[in-house]
Amino acid sequence: MNFTLQDILGATLAFFLFPIVIVFPGYVLGWAFDLFDFRLRQPIVRLGIGLVLSFAVGPILLYLTSSLLSFNFALFTLGGFAAVFVIISIKEKFILSSNAKSLCWIGAIWAVIAIFSLINIQWNDQLYFSVTSYDQTTRVSIIEAMTRTGIPPVNPSYYPGHPVKLTFLYYFWYILGSMVDVIGGKYVDARAALNASSAWSGIGLMAVIALYIRQRNASSTAAAWRSARIGIGLLSVSGLDVFPILFLMARTGLIVGSVDVWNTWIPSWIASNLWVPHHVAALIAGMSAMMLAQSTRGRPILKQFTIMVIAGLGVASAFGLSVYVAFVFVVFWCVWLAALFILNEERGLILPMIFTGMVALFLSIPFLIGLFQGAGGGAGEQFPIIFEVRSFLQLESFVKDWTLFARSLIMLALLPVNYIMELGFFFMAAIYWFKIKGKAAIRSSPFFLAEAILLAIVFLIGSCLRSTLITSNDLGWRAWLPGQFILLIWGVDVLENLMFTSQPVSSLTGEAKKNRKLKAKKNRKLILVFLSIGILTSVMDAVLLRTAWPFMTGAGETHKYYSARLAYDFLREHVPADVITQNNPLNYVDRPSGLYGTHQMTISDRTAYGVPFGTFNRLVNEVGQLFTIKNVSNWHSIDGICHEHSIDILIIEDIDPIWSSIPVLELQRLSIYENAHYALFACGDYVK
C-alpha cells in the first residue's frame, strides 16, 4: 500500500476513535454534575463541554488507573464512560443548528489540515516528512513504548541490561494516544494516534474558546455564537514573523522549517498544535480549572466543593501534560487567591480554591515520585529554572561577550520590540483593550481580574525566566500559551468593539464627531493591517512546516527515508516484540528509528530523559563501535559487543562505516532484510 494512503487511513481511524478518550469521560461527568449548566445546553454545546472537561479529567484519571491498577483496567474505565455516553445520547435528539454546523465544518477542515500536515508524503520511492518529525521522533517512541510495556513505560531507548521506567517526563498526553493505539489494533499505530491527537488538541482549543466566551460574556445566544466564531477565527492569526523570516531566507538563500526560528519563540496556534499538542492540552486543562472556579459563584457549599474536586483534576492533568504550562497556572492560582483576599472580593472562593490545590497535589503525588526518581545523574547539575531576560536572538552575536547585567538591560529595553514582532495583532489588541475597557473594568468583572492577573504572570515568567533542562528555553516558549489565550479573548472584544459596536457621538459637536469617526476608522485600519499580517504569518508557517523538509535535508534523503520505512516495517511485522534492536547511536536525532521503530534499543538519544550523562555517553561510545569499525572480516567482535549489551538485531545504514564490510559479513551470515540503504542482521545471542 502507498504509505501516504496508509497514513491517511490510520490517522483518520484514530481521529474517530479519539472521542472515546477525549469526549466521553468529560461528557458523562458534565451530565452527572451538571457542570456549566450542562443539561440546559444544546447537544452540540454539550459535546463541546464534554470535550473541554475531558482534557481536564481524562489524563489524570487514565494515568492513575493505568499506573496504579493496570492498562486494561484503564481501558475498562473508558468502556464504562462510553456505555454511559451511549445511554445518555439515546434519550437526546441530536439536531444541529446552522451555527453548530458552521463550527463543525471549521473543526473538520482543521482536522484535514492537521493530518495532512503531519503524515508522510510518498512520491514514487521517496518519502517526505513534516518538519515536526523532529519532535515526533520522541513522542511516537513513547506512545509505542506505552502500548508495548504499560504505564509508566519502559524507556525504549535505554537498556543497561534491564528495563528502566521512563518517568522523568510529563507524558500524560501520550497515554491517550496509547489507548487509541490499542483500541485501533493493527489499523492504528503510535504515529497515527499522535497525528490524530494534534487534530483533537486544535478542536479542544476551539471548544474552550467558545465555552470561555459563553461563561464570561452575558450576551444573547446569537452574540455568543458570533463571538465564538471570531475567537476560533483568531486561531489563524500570529505575529509579524513573516517579514524577518522572508528577509532571513533572502539573505541566506536557505529555506527554514518555521517562521519562529529567527527569534525566541512564541509559536502560532497552528504550530503549537502540530508541534506540541500536549502543551496545548495543558492550557485547556488549566483553563478548565479556572472556568470551574468561576462557575462556583452562588452555588451551595457542597456543590462548590464537588466542582473544585474536578478543577483539581484539571490542575493535576495540566501538570502531567506540561510542567511548564502548569507552573504558570500554579503561580497564577496563588496570586489570584492573594488578590481575592487583599481586594476583599469574593472571599467565598478562597477556601474552595485552596481545596482545589490540595486535590491537585494529592492526585499528582504518584507522578511527582516517579518524576524525581527518574531524574538521573545529569538532571540535577543545574537548577531547572534560572533568571534570564527574554532574548532577542538577532542581537545575541553582538552581546555574547557583555556582562550579564549589561546584556539583561539591553534585552529588557528591547522587550516591546520583541513582543510586538512575536504577538503582532494581539499586542495591539491588548493596548486597545485597556483603552476601551479601562482599569475600572478589571475590578468590575471577576473574569477581567483573573485575565489581567494571568497575563501579568505570563509576562513576568515568559520575560524573566528560562528553563535549563534542555538547550531550548521550553519555559519561555510554552509559558506564553495562557497569555496567548487571554490576548485572543481580548482580541475578540476589540474586534467586536470596532466592527459591531456603535460609538456614542450624539453629545459631541460636529468637528468632534468627525474627529471621533476618523480616529475609529484609523484604529480599525491599523488593527486590520496587523490582523492580515498575522494571518499571512500563520499560513506561511503552516506551509513551511509541511514543505520545507526536503529543502533542508537534500533530495537524496527522501529516498533513504522510504528505504528506512520499509526496513522498520519489516521489523514490526516479522520480528518478535521482545527483541532488542539497535541502530547507530552516533546518528543523533535519527528520525526513522523514532517514527517507525517498535522495539527496545540499548541506547539512543530519542528518549534519553533522565539517563545520567556519563552513562549515556559511555553506552553511545561502546555501542557505536559496532557501526564505526571498517574492514571487518568476521562476526566475532561484533557478536561479543552485542552479547555484552543484550542486542539482538543490528540496523545498519549506508552512512555507517561498517556498511562497506557487509559483502564480507554476508558470506558468513545472511541479512534478515536488506534494501538499497538499510540492512538488518542478527547478532549476539539472537543468532540461530
pLDDT tens digits for 241-274?
Answer: 999 999 999 998 888 989 999 999 999 999 999 9
The confidence score (pLDDT) of residue 471 equals 78
> How confident is residue 377, by pLDDT bands cut at 50, 70 and 90?
very low
Q: pLDDT-based confidence at 379, cuts 50/70/90? A: very low
512 or 619, which is more confident: 619
Question: Residue 675: pLDDT above 90?
Answer: yes
Q: Is the pLDDT of residue 202 over 50?
A: yes
What is the model's pLDDT at position 501?
66
In whole angstroms, give the CA distance from residue 336 to residue 449.
9
Q: Is the pLDDT of residue 68 over 90?
A: yes
Q: What is the pLDDT of residue 334?
A: 95
- Stretch 342-346: mean pLDDT, rounded? 80
Does 345 or 357 have the greater pLDDT score? 357
Query: Which of the four pLDDT bands, split at 50, 70 and 90, describes residue 502?
Result: low
Predicted local confidence at residue 364, as pLDDT = 93
Residue range 378-398: mean pLDDT, rounded? 80
SS3 73: helix
- Given a cut of 90, whether residue 446 has pLDDT beyond it is no
pLDDT tier at 515, thresholds 50, 70, 90: low
Instruction: Decide if pLDDT at 544 tops 70.
Output: yes
pLDDT of 524: 84
Tell me phi and psi for residue 674, to 5 degrees: -155, 140
When pLDDT is averaged across residues 397-412 and rounded to a whole number, the result is 90
Burial per residue of 503-542, b for 16 or more beta-carbon CB atoms within 10 angstroms, e otherwise: eeeeeeeeeeeeeeeeeeeebeeebeebbebbbbbbbbbb
In the prediction, which pLDDT does 378 show? 46
Is pLDDT above 90 for 510? no
**Quick one: pLDDT at residue 382?**
66
Q: How confident is the model at residue 545 (pLDDT cuts 50, 70, 90)?
A: very high
Tens digit of each residue's pLDDT (9 = 90 or more) over 593-615: 999 999 999 999 989 888 988 99
pLDDT tens digit sequence for 631-640: 898 999 999 9
What pLDDT is attached to residue 370? 86
pLDDT digits (tens, 9 = 90+) for 120-137: 999 989 999 999 998 999
CA 474, 475, 480 angle in degrees (round to 5)? 105
CB 36, CB 52: distance < 8 Å = no
Model confidence at 376: pLDDT above 60:
no
Mean pLDDT on 317-336: 96
Q: For 666, what's the count of Cα atoms within 13 Å in the CB-facing half-sphere?
A: 14
Total length of the chain: 688
Q: Which helix (H) or strand (E) holds 678?
A: strand 678-682
Mean pLDDT along residues 419-439: 91
